[in-house]
Amino acid sequence: MNWFYKHYRYATVPRGAILDIGSGSNPFWRANILMERFLEDDSQRPGILIIDRPIVCGDIHNIPFVDNAFRFIHCSHILEHLESPEKAIDEIMRVSQYGFIETPSEIHEFLDLNFSFHRWAISAENDILVFREKPQHIPVHPLIEALKDKLNRTYQFISSHHDQINILSRFWRDKIQYRIESTAVQNNLKRVQ
């Protein structure tokens, strides 16, 4: 993403208390407070933790701030890691009424990343974030293998349109619409029927 667009898209973010949840090795430049769950463990972040402003050790499932404490929340590449995305989203909405969420897209998760510590593949249906629980073992389909060939034109197209295809990003206000499709939920629904 070019520098100008990256900064321009945040031009409407209000001034005031801004929290970056899971700031990691790339804190949101407008945030004045950072929050990290793991201060010592860099195993799930691409670089070392940067602490260049006040930081709070906290869990997104139980954010250690009062209701509506922030004007804006930035949450980038965190939701795909969580045990309970519904609890985290409820907490995000509790402490702010406005924010930005970014995750790898479902196609990026299965085509390129497939990290074992990513529990969810996330897509969007209109304005609804859809969390699909990833299976423990993902069989590799020949089509996926073919798409990983860097000489393949489809791979080149996906790479050249990285942010539009591989990244799912949403500004939200008041409410984050979402749906969870987990194996446990589906199994429970089958038992009830």
User: Residue 181: what pLDDT?
Assistant: 92
Which stretch of DSSP H or E encloses residue 183? helix 183-192
Beta bridge partners of 160: none
Query: Which band of pLDDT confidence, cut at 50, 70 and 90, is reported for residue 182?
Result: confident
d(CA 120, CA 133) in angstroms, rounded, equals 5
Query: Which band of pLDDT confidence, cut at 50, 70 and 90, is reported for residue 193?
Result: very low
Tell me which residue has tokens 């769950």: 37
Torsional sign, CA 30, 31, 37, 39: positive
- Please tell me the least confidently modeled range out of 49-53, 97-101, 160-164, 184-188: 184-188
Task: Specify whether the CB–CB gap between 118 and 104 falls below 8 A.
Answer: yes
* CATH number for 122: 3.40.50
Q: Does residue 53 surpass a pLDDT of 60? A: yes
pTM equals: 0.80
Q: Dig out the tokens for 15 from the structure.
A: 């001034």
Helix, strand, coil: what percent of the chain each, to 5? Answer: 30, 25, 45
d(CA 174, CA 151) in angstroms, rounded, equals 44
Query: Which band of pLDDT confidence, cut at 50, 70 and 90, is reported for residue 67?
Result: very high
What residue numbers bound the domain in which 9 lies? 3-192
Please write the tens of the pLDDT for every residue from 5-52: 666 777 778 789 999 999 999 999 999 999 999 888 887 888 889 999
Contacts of 152 (CB under 8 A, 6+ apart): 146
User: Residue 98: what pLDDT?
Assistant: 94
Provide the number of structural domains found in the chain.
1
